[in-house]
Each structure stands twice: as C-alpha cells, then as structure tokens.
Structure 1
Amino acid sequence: MKKLIIAVVVLLGILFIISRFTELQEVLLVLQKGNWLWLGAAFVVLFGWILVTAATFQTLFSLVGVNKSLLQVLRLFLAVNFINLVAPSAGMSGMVVFYSDAQKNGHSTARIMVGSALFLIFDYCGLLTIIFFGLIILAFYQVLWAFEIFAFILFFLFVTAMISVVYLASRSEERLSRLLLKITRFLNHATGILFKKKAISEDRVIRFAAEISEGVKAIQNLRHGWVRPASLTILNKLLLVSILGMMFLAFGTPVTAGQLIAGFSIAYLFVIISPTPAGIGIVEGLLTFALNSLAVPIEAAAVITLAFRGYTFWLPFLLGMISFRSLQS
C-alpha cells in the first residue's frame, strides 16, 4: 500500500510537470538569455534560502521538544513543499510527510503539528510585514488596486486566526474544542444544505484540539526562544527579495528598492491568497502587471517574472520530488 501511495504521488508530480510543460520550456528559454554570473549568484542565494528555511523549522521543532539534524529537516521541508504542490489541500497534504516521519522516529505528532504551525505563523508574519510596506509603495506610485487590499485583509485575518488558535490552545483545551466545534457545525450545516453531507467529522475536530493543546504545552522557552526563528524569518525574506533583484541584474534592467519590495509583495501575497498551488498561473500574470505598473517595461517585466518563478517555484519543486523519493526509499 505504501509503495502504491509513493507511486501515485510521483505520478502526480510527473503529470503536474507535463501539464505545465509549456511554461517550464518558456522559463528555460528565458534563463538561457540571462547573464550567467548573476543567475549563478541567484542559485547560490536560493540554496541559502532553502537552508535558512530548514533551519527555521529545526529551531521551532526544538522549541516543542523535537530535535532533528538540519539535513533531516531540509529533506522533510523539500518533500513537504513538493507534496503541497501536487496534492494541494491548504497545506495539510504536506503534513502527512511530517506525521509519517514523526511516527517512524518515535516523535509526538502533536508536537510536530504545533512546530509546523509556529513556522507558518512566523513565516506569514514576516510576509505580512513586507507586503504592508509593498502596498504603501504601490499607493505612492498610485497603482494600488482594491483587490490587492482585499487579498491583504484576507491574509491578515487568516494569520490572526492561526495565532488565536495557538493562543487559545495554550489557555484552555476545552474552550478551543468548543470554538472549533461551533465553526465545524456551522460549516457542516452549510455543506449539508448545499451538498447533502457533512464536510468535517466532529470527533476529528475534538482530537485535533487535543493534539494542538498537547503540542502547545510542550513549547519550551518561547518567551526567549522567538528571537532566533524571527531573525531567520527576516533573513528568509531578504534572500527571496535578493533573488528577485538578481533577476533584474541578470537581464540588464535597472531597478529601485521600492520596485523590488512592491513587486515581491504582490508576488507573495498571491502565492498565499490564490486558488491554485503556490499561485501557479496567477502570480506570473500579476507580478508582470505589477512590475509594469511600477514603470518596468512590459517585456522586461515578463522575462524577470518567468526567471524569478523558475528559481523560486520550479527549482524547489524538482528538488522536492527528488527529496520525497529519497525519503521513501
């Protein structure tokens, strides 16, 4: 059964590549025209970004009492990223990789869940900060649109909800269960009317609340331990912005710090708030549009966007496929 699941996941990855093969070809053609010195430097920075992301996971897992080597976490992170792209389910499909590894190594799945939730909170708070300044820059250029503000508000509410759940779990498992059950019953009532069936099992929600509370109670020294993951999160975002800047340099296009931050903000706002995995097919158009509205020529904006997505989407995707396969072998 396990081999069948692995085969299905790898097949989904191959089908994903085939379905996006034209876009992948365009990325490869674009990269061939760039300055290889800057493209090589961007690859080194991308590798640094992957290591920093893995180090953030490692730090937060240690806060909940799960100790892993950087290499172990690195392989898990890449595999989780791959799974979330080929089988998108609001990030929950990738949690299967963490659960499987936790069970194999005798770690608490509840602690792994909370460590992963803390990673998302730190990561999203870092993104919210940059996106906020990016929207201010867009407003300064008078190219801020209502749908961008609406997307930012949705993202902010989502992060607030995540923080609230973790905080409530730290205060009272019973209150968290009651709140989640109210939300579940509302959703089940709505889906019962629309689809004649319940969407979520109440027993599963109760178990989820218990696991979250157990994991939160395991957090060690969060009062002082937040400095390292917060610093790594800031470095994470600086590295991603640097990659975008190197794409401008690789294709000989002048750029200002304001254009970089605003363009990056739009790209990653819709990586999160998007109906497609990692904003595939949406971010490409919106980032090109945003850069062009910031006085970047449309041809240069399209080329830079494809190159940036080649580095930050396709390379981690392919590395993730390899990592997932190696973890299961």
Structure 2
Amino acid sequence: MPPWLKRYRKEAKPLAVPSWRKWLAVGATAALVAFVALQRTEAAHLLRLLGRTDWRWLPAPVLCEALFQSNEATIYWLMYRVMGHRTRLPRVIRLTLAAAFVNRIAPSAGVSGTALFTERMARVGVPPSATVTVNLARYVLDYGAFALILGCGMIYLSLHHELTPVEIRAAATLGALILALLVVAAVLVSMRSALVAVVTALARALNRGVARLGVGNAVSVDAAAAGVDEALQAVAVLAHSGRSTAALVCMGFFIHLFDLAGLWSVFMAVGHPVHLGVLVAGYGLAYLAGFVSLVPSGLGVFEASMAVVYASLGVHLAQAVLVTLLYRLFSLWMPVLAGYAALQITLKEDRPNAQAL
C-alpha cells in the first residue's frame, strides 16, 4: 500500500453525524417554505382544510412509506443473495435507512450513501465491488421505473392539457439520460475484457504520472483490474438470474407504486380524490424538479412544483399545498428521522470481524 494512502487511513476521521446547526438550517428552510405556502394560500383557509382532514386515511401513507423502505432493502438483500453473499435482512434495512438519510442531507448523486453502504458491508466480508454494483443496479431499476411513470404522466398531460416547452425539454432530457445509462451498462457488460484492459491502462498511466511527483504508486493495477472484472461479473450474474431478475424488475416498479399509493391516500384524507393520470403527472414532474435541483432532497423546489402542477390540473391551490406538505411529511421527514436513528446505530458498529446481524 502506498505510504500516502496509509497516512490518509490513519488520519481519516469516522463519519460524523450532522451537527445541530445543520438541523437548524434544515428546519429554518422548512419553516420558510411553510410560511410562504401559508401566505400564498390564505392561512385561515389552509387551517380549515387541515381541520376537515379525514385522519382515518393518514395511517395509510405511513404504511406505504414503511413498505417503500422495506421494498428497497429487500432489493439490496436479494441482489446480495443472487451474487452469493449471505446477509440478514435486518442489517440491510438498517443500512438502507442510514444511507438514505446521508443521501438526503448531502446531495451527492447517491455517492455518500453508497460509500457508507460499501464500508459497512465490507466489515462483514462483502467485497466493495459487489456493493457498488448492487447500488448501481438499484439506481437503474429506480430510474428506469421512474422514466416509465414520468412518460405515462407526460402522455396524460399531452392528451388533456397543454405541455409547456420547459416540461417537454426536461422530460426528454431525463428520458435520454436514463436510456443512455441503460445502453452504456449493456455495452460494458458485453465488452468486459475490453473494459478491464482500458482500466488497467488508465491505472498504469496514473501511476506513471504520480511517480513523477515522487509519491509512489497511486493505485494497484492488479487490484483495479480485479475490482472492475468482479463488478462486471456481478452485473452479468444479476442480469441472468432468471426468476430473481424478474422479481427485481417488479420490485423496482414497486419503489414508485408504494410512493404513489401514499400520495393517493393523502388526497383521500384531504377529501379530494383525483384521476390516476393527474396523480401520476404531479408526482412525476415534482420528482423531476427535485432531481435537477441542487438542494438536498429538492427541499422547496419539490414542494412548489407539486403544488403548482396539481393546481394547474384542477386541484384547488390550498388543497394542493396541504396535500404536498402532508405527503412530504410522510415521504421525507419521517424517513429522515428513522434514517438518523439507523445511522446512529450503524456508526456504533465497530467490530470489523463481526458476523452479519
């Protein structure tokens, strides 16, 4: 191992839980969003709607969110089993919640959560290449299902409402990116030996460049090639596992179906049933706005987009705002609290050779 890497590992600090100042900033942002919403929709009217809410419907979005999180964890767990790595589901559920919490407070395109997942699973003998592959495959399932749902929403809007140029360009761009991701993944799997050769050449070139600085090798060429080969082999196993592959694809769609069911339950609680096309259109465009924003979890951007879209589709603005705030309470803030607790438990696991719980 290079000396500089040994020094880095000695000096590296454990992952820290966000301080109270960051939580204060998040709370202040949420309060500002709520204040603006109240000012724009007449606070008295919104409070009257809240008072008329049918609270018997509210356990439904809680259940849907629990099913959503359990489904995500089961996807990870099943992928690990297909690849030959045995780990118990409770551990994967805890890591899923903790990784989701890290991703939501630190917008890094999922890299921070994947790093946490990789480091913790390595403690129980799962190679980092396997965990990275599992996380990438999960994102492919998620975004592939979302692209289909967004496409259905856009078709509904094109048939019943006039689409704006911004909505068309944004949806087309996201669809093109997802399609490109799937094509690249298929090409990489089919050209495994060529990709390993490319990675080997890049690693050697990097080592030659670093050697001129007198630092030593930056990366092990053999380890880099072996890691890429293991990852591509794992992808091939996932893609050709028969019934398990079909089950994973179905579970990928349930990621968003559980979310849509929770949103529909909130509409029912508010007393404003909506057409399935309206439900899907508002959901898809709101998440699209959240994806492209630089704010953690699309905070503020998501809420404004969902409320505006539903208001433009015939929902009263006050009801649209109330539905959005209640939905985000269940789909964002409740998992954040659960993820924070899961992260606290995860960070206390300091047994490198512990068995999977």
Normalising by structure 2, report the TM-score.
0.77
In structure 1, the residue matched to 2:136 is: 117
Q: Which moved more, 1:204-213 or 1:124-133?
A: 204-213
Task: Identify the match of residue 7 of structure 1 among 16, 40, 47.
Answer: 16
Task: Identify the match of residue 222 of structure 1 among 233, 239, 242.
Answer: 239
Mapped partners of 1:222, 1:285: distance in 2 = 39
Is the alpha carbon distance of 1:21 and 1:289 closer, same or farther for their aligned partners in structure 2, counting shifts above 3 Å? closer
Structure 2 gap ranges (5+)? 1-9, 38-45, 201-217, 349-357
Is the alpha carbon distance of 1:240 and 1:221 closer, same or farther for their aligned partners in structure 2, counting shifts above 3 Å? closer
Is the alpha carbon distance of 1:237 and 1:221 closer, same or farther for their aligned partners in structure 2, counting shifts above 3 Å? closer
Confirm or deny: 8 A CA contact 1:267 1:287 kept in the other structure. yes
Tell me if 1:281 matches 2:297: no
Is the alpha carbon distance of 1:298 and 1:59 closer, same or farther for their aligned partners in structure 2, counting shifts above 3 Å? same
Q: Deviations over 1:22-44 (max 9, x none)?
A: 158779x9796432211112211
Tell me if 1:42 matches 2:42: no
Task: Identify the match of residue 26 of structure 2 among 9, 17, 21.
Answer: 17
In structure 1, the residue matched to 2:290 is: 271
Tell me if 1:164 matches 2:183: yes
1:51 CA drift (Å) = 0.9
Structure 1 gap ranges (5+)? 182-201
Mapped partners of 2:163, 2:199: distance in 1 = 36
Is the alpha carbon distance of 1:15 and 1:319 closer, same or farther for their aligned partners in structure 2, counting shifts above 3 Å? same
Identity of paired residues, percent?
25
- The code of the aligned residue for 1:106 comes to G
Task: Identify the match of residue 73 of structure 2 among 54, 58, 66.
Answer: 54
1:242 CA drift (Å) = 0.9
- The code of the aligned residue for 1:215 comes to A
Secondary structure, aligned partner of 2:315: coil
Mapped partners of 1:9, 1:57: distance in 2 = 26
Task: Identify the match of residue 108 of structure 2 among 89, 92, 96.
Answer: 89
In structure 2, the residue matched to 1:321 is: 340
Considering only CA atoms, is the larger Rg found in Structure 1 or Structure 2?
Answer: 2
In structure 2, the residue matched to 1:311 is: 330
In structure 1, the residue matched to 2:318 is: 299
- The code of the aligned residue for 2:144 comes to C
Secondary structure, aligned partner of 1:229: helix
Secondary structure, aligned partner of 1:105: coil
Secondary structure, aligned partner of 1:143: coil
In structure 1, the residue matched to 2:174 is: 155
Confirm or deny: 8 A CA contact 2:33 2:300 kept in the other structure. no
- The code of the aligned residue for 2:276 comes to A
- The code of the aligned residue for 1:7 comes to A
Deviating beyond 6 angstroms after TM superposition, the runs of 4 or more aligned structure 1 residues are 24-27, 29-32, 177-181, 202-209
Mapped partners of 1:147, 1:208: distance in 2 = 42
Confirm or deny: 8 A CA contact 2:68 2:259 kept in the other structure. yes
Residues 233-244 of structure 1 mapped to structure 2, 5 A cutoff: 233-244=252-263
- The code of the aligned residue for 1:37 comes to R
1:75 CA drift (Å) = 0.8
Mapped partners of 2:184, 2:220: distance in 1 = 16
1:208 CA drift (Å) = 7.0
Secondary structure, aligned partner of 1:283: helix
Secondary structure, aligned partner of 2:84: coil
Is the alpha carbon distance of 1:178 and 1:212 closer, same or farther for their aligned partners in structure 2, counting shifts above 3 Å? closer
Secondary structure, aligned partner of 2:85: coil
Q: Deviations over 1:3-27 (max 9, x none)?
A: 9544354557524533434158779
Is the alpha carbon distance of 1:217 and 1:3 closer, same or farther for their aligned partners in structure 2, counting shifts above 3 Å? closer
Q: Deviations over 1:238-292 (max 9, x none)?
A: 2111111111111111311121111111122223232222221111111111101
- The code of the aligned residue for 1:54 comes to A
Mapped partners of 1:111, 1:73: distance in 2 = 14
